[in-house]
Amino acid sequence: MTSVQVAETVKELQLYLEKARISNLTIGFVPTMGFLHEGHASLINTSTKQRDVTVVSIYVNPLQFDPDEDFDKYPKDISSDLDLCNEHGVDIVFMPSEEEMKPFLSEESLKLRGIVKIFEGESRPVHFQGVATVVKALFEIVGSSYAFFGEKDFQQLVLVKQLVDDYLLPVQVIGCPIIRENDGLAKSSRNVYLDSAEREQSAVIYQSLKAGAEAISKGETSIKNIEQLIKKTVETSPLANIDYVAVVDPLTFEIPNSIKNEVRLLVACNFGQARLIDNILAQREVVSS
């Protein structure tokens, strides 16, 4: 039986956090859609180490799913989620209903930057507007805090940082490293959709990113060459269906003319019903004269 405190209403959560702030305690916040795994646990662990109080939200956000996506089938296991939160020292779990969240969600589209129209935004047109609407609401509900996000959804991480800046939200966003399986596959709630053959071949995503990063470290500066190398590596898997491969600036998410220093390599790929995304930081080695 889990002992972590659960708040199902905004009022319950805010009363709890108000008492913490009166005691000058700092708040760490990990927003999730549930079905928690080791990737989420690593975010929670970072929060519990760095902050006095850790809040985890569990809310499957219907706004970020396109009409043909898996909202109704999105995996859920609340009992397991609460156990994980309890085991990793979470102080309070916020589990609002759609009805509870509704008054806090902006009815008008938020003004977001161009990042929402490319890559994930192009493949999933309503996704980022939905993410931003709910994240903004959650940030306003939780208030002054440090929010921990995984780097696996790197485009989302950059978007959230932009959202905080543009709407002057009282939150510091902290990106945390990707947690991987032994073969390199990034941990994701959607990995449960992979059958055994797809799961085996899905490791090619990370292999392709490593190949690209290695080429850059050895001096490759052509974005076209790196993209082709990554695609060629992914295509060694017969079950892989590439959505996009890209090289972007890790701060602005813009596509540079050539690779001069640090870049992020991105891959989105379908394996059967599972749409997997991954990324890696790549850097040219600086040779001193």
Residues 106 and 235 in one domain: no
The 3-class SS string of 187-251 reads: CCHHHHHCCHHHHHHCCHHHHHHHHHHHHHHCCCCCHHHHHHHHHHHHCCCCCCEEEEEEEECCC
- Examine the domain organization and report whether 212 and 170 are in the same domain: no
Same domain flag for 124 and 167? yes
Catalytic residue among 37, 40, 88, 127: 40
Tell me, what's the pLDDT at 3? 83
User: Which of 119, 158, 149 lies closest to 269 in space, CA to CA?
Assistant: 119
Is 88 a residue of the active site?
no
Q: Percentage of the chain with pLDDT > 90?
A: 89
Nearest partner of 186 among 216, 213, 153, 217, judged by Cα? 153
Q: Of the given ranges (2-6, 22-26, 108-112, 203-207), which has the lowest mean pLDDT?
A: 2-6
Shared domain check, 9 and 143: yes
Domain boundary among 127, 142, 176: 176
Q: Count structural domains, the chain.
A: 2
**In this predicted structure, what is the pLDDT of residue 67?**
65
Q: Check pLDDT > 90 for residue 218.
A: yes
Indicate whether 165 and 261 sit together in one domain: no
pLDDT digits (tens, 9 = 90+) for 56-107: 999 987 777 766 666 666 778 999 999 999 999 999 999 999 999 999 999 9
Reported as a single tens digit per residue, the pLDDT across 98-133 is: 999 999 999 999 999 999 999 999 998 889 999 999
Report the alpha-carbon distance of residue 288 to residue 197 in Å, rounded.
46
**What pLDDT was estimated at residue 287?**
59
Interval 26-44 mean pLDDT: 96
Q: Does residue 228 belong to any structural domain of this protein?
A: yes
Torsions phi, psi of 228, nearest 5? -65, -40
113 & 248 share domain:
no
Question: What is the model's pLDDT at position 60?
Answer: 86
Q: Which domain holds residue 246?
A: 189-279
pLDDT band at 55 (very low <50, low <70, confident <90, very high): very high
Average pLDDT, the chain: 94
